[in-house]
Structure 1
Amino acid sequence: MGAAAGKAAPAKDRLAIAENTVLQWNRCPDADTGIWDAAAACTNERLLDAVDEILDLAEAQPFPAASAAAARLDSALRVAMLRMMDEFLRLRVWNASSQDLRLAVDRLSVGVSANAQWLAVHGTGDRSSSASTVGRASGGSPSSAPGDLVGFLNVEFLDDLQLLCPASLPVLHEIARRVIRAGYTKELVQKFTNSPCDVLDRFLSIFQGECSRRTTEAVIKLWSLATKLIGKALVVMQRQLYAQNSPGAFDALKDEYFLAITKNRILNLLKFADDFTSITSHEKLIYILGMYEALSEATPGLLLMFTGPHKELVTERSEEILTKLARSIRSMVTSLIAKVGDDVSNTKNIVGVGVHPLTQYSVLCIERLAPHRDTLDLILASGGDVTSLSDLSSRVVGCLDRVLLLDEKPVPPRDAAAAAAAGSRHHLFLANNANFVLQRCKPMLGDEWAAARESVVERHVAGYAEACWAPVVACLEPAGRKPEKVVAKFSAAFDKAYESQVSCEVPDPALRDALRRAVSEKVVTAYGVYLETHPKLEKSDRYTAGELGQWLSELFEGDAAEHNK
């Protein structure tokens, strides 16, 4: 034995040599790599021999119980075991250094953060900025976010990664065998609490690192990702740890070890979530809802990792935070309805005929909640004034109806031309907004509601055709005039109406076609009948009925309808 004087040497000499080796090691713990390096390679057999010599002497008890040599042996044994525990803490049991793991986690982190940042800019914020921004973003479609958020949350890649360092397990058996042999098992178990786990810590770093530089939305989304990753990683880690076919002393401590590395990190996750339970702003609703889902989905699997008092503690803490998050979500839903109501009440002097930014913003808020419908319905059904996503959607739409959708305010009395122009803009605006809500909210509000809303859209389509184009058709009434003058007056009125309407935009193709049909049925049909009753005009009239239909087919394209007429 390199560090000992040999079994035949006196016990006092053997102790002196082993004690000196261990004490020198204890005085300068960083002077060498210890017994094993982080990769589980034995780099100092002399130190290991000294530990074994002290263990052999402790079991043989060669010194009188109250002697100074026995006290020295006990002290040397204590130092040796403490250093063995330090060896355990410096050993890399879990491998977070693989390139596949680093790239996957980095990609997930960047992707989720980018989505949260995009949604924060395009889907939330104060009314002055968010609503107008949503209006520019493809009609407020949630699918226009960069990348697939569901794809970013795919954690199945962990199934194919080797998270356990296989070479470390024999070393764990070696350390455990000596510690158990010396009677220091309790002390080693206490050390498990501080055991490093690079895999879990890498996932925790996703949301812990530089939180102050990220938006709240990004931090919450990254927390949800880290929770999913840790939940999945723990399953894989436990499977790999218990699948090792190298039985040894550490097997008796695996449960305590795995519980220790899991417990503190889970409590860390829960503490972080608890810090967000006081948020009540509706702008954070989608993120708090995601946090609730991530925690509720992960909790059953996480609890499988615990037993006894530890399981009770984590269960109680998880349920407490889920309850607080649910309370916060209900408060946010109430805040969202109140916000839309206030914005509607403050909406004055509506300009334009397109989908109003407030309509886009409100509907987008509802749409973003749709993928979380089951969770939200469960939370809302457990208390509060709003009972479901459908109820929330109905209330938001009800707020919009008061001003933007079903507003039947009479056109202010002015001259006939001004009244016609105002009336046409009024009906076109209402048709656009009612149809937008119809198409986007039907999944939440059902077929019966959709049927009633379709009749609203049809009424405003007919109202638009009547307000804008009935005065044009009225020019065809003979009233004793010569047919040539009637057609000339009609053509002038048609030109004026066309020029005022051609740049109006109707984004929805189906509504655009319905409006064109309504106008064509009113204008082209009447014009065609007039020409039939005055066949001599066919060679002298400015337009044929077919040409009118062609011009009308170009309405409602917005700026794309430019042409040389």
Structure 2
Amino acid sequence: MPRKGMRSLCFSPETPLFQGSMSPSSSITSPASGFSESMIEQIIDTAAIIVAKWDGETSSYAKVTSMFYESKREAMHFIRSVNDLRKIMHFVSGQDSGSKNLIRAQSLMQIAMKRLQKEFYQILSMNRAHLDPESVSTRSSRTSTQSSLSDYDYDASPDHEIGAAEESISEVEEVSFMAMSDLKSIADCMIGSGYAKECVQIYNMIRKSIINEGIYKLGIEKVSSSKINKMEWDVLNLKIKDWLEAMKISMRTLFTGERILCDFIFSSSDSIRESCFSEITKAGAVLLFEFPEVVAKVKKSSPERIFRLLGMYTAISDNWPEIETIFSFESISAVRSQALNSIARLNESVRLLLLDFESMIQKDSSKTIVPGGGIHPLTIYSMNYLTALADYGNILTDIISDWPPPAKSSLPEFSFYSPVSNESPAAPISDRISRLILILLCKLDSKAKYYKDIAISYLFLANNLQYIISRIHKSNLHSLLSKDWITKHEVKVNRLATSYERFAWGNVLASLPTNPTAPMKPAEAKECFRKFSISFEDAYWKQISCVVPNSMLRDQIKVSIGRKLVAVYQNFFDSHKSTIGDQKSITLFVRFYPEDVGNYLSDLFIRTLTSSGGSSPSSSS
């Protein structure tokens, strides 16, 4: 609605009937000496004029018109007149309970309350859009503005001051503020006059329908455990996603907005604002917080389900301060209890799924041999799982903080991989993660035995451990595991790589003399060249199919082999090539020149030769 239109609705001039009534600024306060008879009659007469004007039973004008929208100034005068009437009734009833003035005042009060009920209903109904929880929730940071508007003196402020206030607030917020202020004025008046029940009934009826509609639109519904158990994972996964979004919106707007509105309108009575908020939100809030508990009870066990459970746990945990604040009333403690029950059930399910994941690794019986000693699928899957878990590090810390560590005797047997004693960090989450990685390494150790070539077994272990460390460095696992733990395992990679070199290329090095420059007879030199050629070619063909996916580890192994092998062979070649005779003899007995050895070593671990049909060592230059 345009600003000009809103002003004409809220601030239209008073009617001629109102002009002849008592001045709005003459609202009374009860003097210590009481009221004179003439003052009592004047107050009742003044109230009678404005009450009669807005009596829907006698005035067709009042029947179709809203007092608060027709003239805000007149509405405020109506409220003051009723409040004055109430003070007079209280005074007179203490003097003469049968007084004609008291009877007349009581009759006027009943008509006035009926009018205020109608106005209260109209404002709530006509402002559903402006009093929706999302709009109201933005007011939480506008306490001072809200307070100033609620106490606004419509009679003492000229229009230009009202216009200035309008300019400082957006139009939507302005309408919302004004509606809230009007509702509060009516509620204060009705509660003070003993008509709280009628006011509360109207409020609860309208506001509960709004909250229930919001709950429905967010997709929150009662779901039984049996129904959840029958759902396909894809369907349940979507429902959990919807719940997470519903949780966000509910806490940010739906319940927050309703609490702000309820607290503001019924600020004059703690018991009323508590009963209203409880009546309006309790059922929907319990339904919202019940869903995670039902999902956590699902019997289907899938390790991946843990991430959805952790997401729901996080949603409740992160919002717990707001939950305690919004649902702080004792009459609505069931909401807090339900949230805690869901947290407890999620906690239990997450622990069980962690044990299931651990068991899944230990029970993996696949005999898959990864060609060339590459990364095993179990390693990739497990590290994907663990790195995703690390994103919930803080939540997992809460969940397993009091979880006793399992006995170390439960670890599987291993041989290639030897864990360092006392390596587990002290923090429970770090201890649990390091244990899961150790179980994975021990399982990989058992899979390494499926390789017939022991050298490739060591390369397989080095590759997989290097992959694990790389994933740790690139994820939040890095912050959960100590630097000492990571350093020790990086040392293990080097040891495994060294073991690979020894078993893969040890025979080649052994074919060369310990002192490559020591004098030799021609026959001895020829035999040494022959043994080197045979052992090098044999080792090359065994290792050409090996892979080292990590570039740093690949370069490290190549440099190490080259430094040991090429350097020794270069010295031997330079010292004894002339010993075996002329160039023709060298060509006959020397199948590999030192540069050939270096070239062939550079082709290792990337499968370029076998995949592209490259030359073999026997077809050297």
TM value normalised by structure 2: 0.59
CA deviation profile, 1:41-89 (whole Å, cap 9, x unmatched): 94899x989x99x989x9899xx99x9xx99996996586256325314
The residue that corresponds to 1:195 in the other structure is: 207
2: CA distance between counterparts of 1:262 and 1:306? 9
Are the aligned partners of 1:3 and 1:18 in contact in 2 as well (CA < 8 Å)?
no
Does residue 396 (structure 1) correspond to residue 436 (structure 2)? The answer is yes
* Aligned-pair CA distance for 1:398: 3.5
The residue that corresponds to 1:128 in the other structure is: none
The residue that corresponds to 1:530 in the other structure is: 572
* Aligned-pair CA distance for 1:336: 1.6
Q: Which structure 1 residue ranges, 5 or more long, are not aligned?
A: 27-31, 101-160, 413-421
Does residue 366 (structure 1) correspond to residue 386 (structure 2)? The answer is yes
| 1:187 to 1:482, Cα distance in 2 relative to 1, 3 A | farther
Note the 1:444-463 alignment, pairs <5 A. 444-450=480-486, 452-463=488-499
The residue that corresponds to 1:168 in the other structure is: 176
TM value normalised by structure 1: 0.64
Are the aligned partners of 2:314 and 2:395 in contact in 1 as well (CA < 8 Å)?
yes
Tell me which amino acid in the other structure corresponds to 1:186. Answer: K
* Aligned-pair CA distance for 1:323: 1.9
| 1:306 to 1:208, Cα distance in 2 relative to 1, 3 A | closer
2: CA distance between counterparts of 1:488 and 1:480? 12
| Counterpart among 336, 343, 353 of residue 357 in structure 2 | 336
The residue that corresponds to 1:19 in the other structure is: 56
| 1:560 to 1:199, Cα distance in 2 relative to 1, 3 A | farther
Q: SS in structure 2 opposite 1:382?
A: coil
Are the aligned partners of 2:374 and 2:463 in contact in 1 as well (CA < 8 Å)?
yes
Does residue 305 (structure 1) correspond to residue 326 (structure 2)? The answer is yes
| 1:259 to 1:505, Cα distance in 2 relative to 1, 3 A | farther
The residue that corresponds to 2:548 in the other structure is: 506
Identity of aligned residues (%): 22
Are the aligned partners of 2:116 and 2:186 in contact in 1 as well (CA < 8 Å)?
no
Are the aligned partners of 2:289 and 2:338 in contact in 1 as well (CA < 8 Å)?
yes
2: CA distance between counterparts of 1:506 and 1:370? 26
Are the aligned partners of 1:354 and 1:506 in contact in 2 as well (CA < 8 Å)?
yes
CA deviation profile, 1:270-320 (whole Å, cap 9, x unmatched): 123332231464322222223222212211233223444146444333333
| 1:204 to 1:389, Cα distance in 2 relative to 1, 3 A | farther
Q: Which structure 2 residue ranges, 5 or more long, are not aligned?
A: 1-13, 22-44, 90-99, 139-168, 224-230, 407-426, 514-519, 616-621
Tell me which amino acid in the other structure corresponds to 1:548. Answer: V
| 1:525 to 1:88, Cα distance in 2 relative to 1, 3 A | same
Does residue 350 (structure 1) correspond to residue 366 (structure 2)? The answer is no
Are the aligned partners of 1:200 and 1:233 in contact in 2 as well (CA < 8 Å)?
no
The residue that corresponds to 1:256 in the other structure is: 273
Does residue 425 (structure 1) correspond to residue 425 (structure 2)? The answer is no
Q: SS in structure 2 opposite 1:405?
A: helix
Are the aligned partners of 1:96 and 1:199 in contact in 2 as well (CA < 8 Å)?
no
1: CA distance between counterparts of 2:120 and 2:609? 78
Q: Give the RMSD, CA atoms, in angstroms.
A: 5.7
The residue that corresponds to 2:398 in the other structure is: 378
Tell me which amino acid in the other structure corresponds to 2:573. Answer: L
2: CA distance between counterparts of 1:456 and 1:470? 20
* Aligned-pair CA distance for 1:509: 2.5
Are the aligned partners of 2:455 and 2:504 in contact in 1 as well (CA < 8 Å)?
yes
Structure 1 stretch 255-264 or stretch 314-323: which is displaced more? Answer: 255-264
* Aligned-pair CA distance for 1:356: 0.7
| Counterpart among 185, 189, 195 of residue 177 in structure 1 | 185
Are the aligned partners of 1:475 and 1:490 in contact in 2 as well (CA < 8 Å)?
yes
**Greater RCO between the two (CA within 8 Å, min separation 6)?**
1
Structure 1 stretch 381-390 or stretch 233-242: which is displaced more? Answer: 233-242
* Aligned-pair CA distance for 1:35: 4.3
1: CA distance between counterparts of 2:207 and 2:465? 60
Larger radius of gyration: 2
| 1:95 to 1:396, Cα distance in 2 relative to 1, 3 A | closer
| 1:480 to 1:400, Cα distance in 2 relative to 1, 3 A | farther
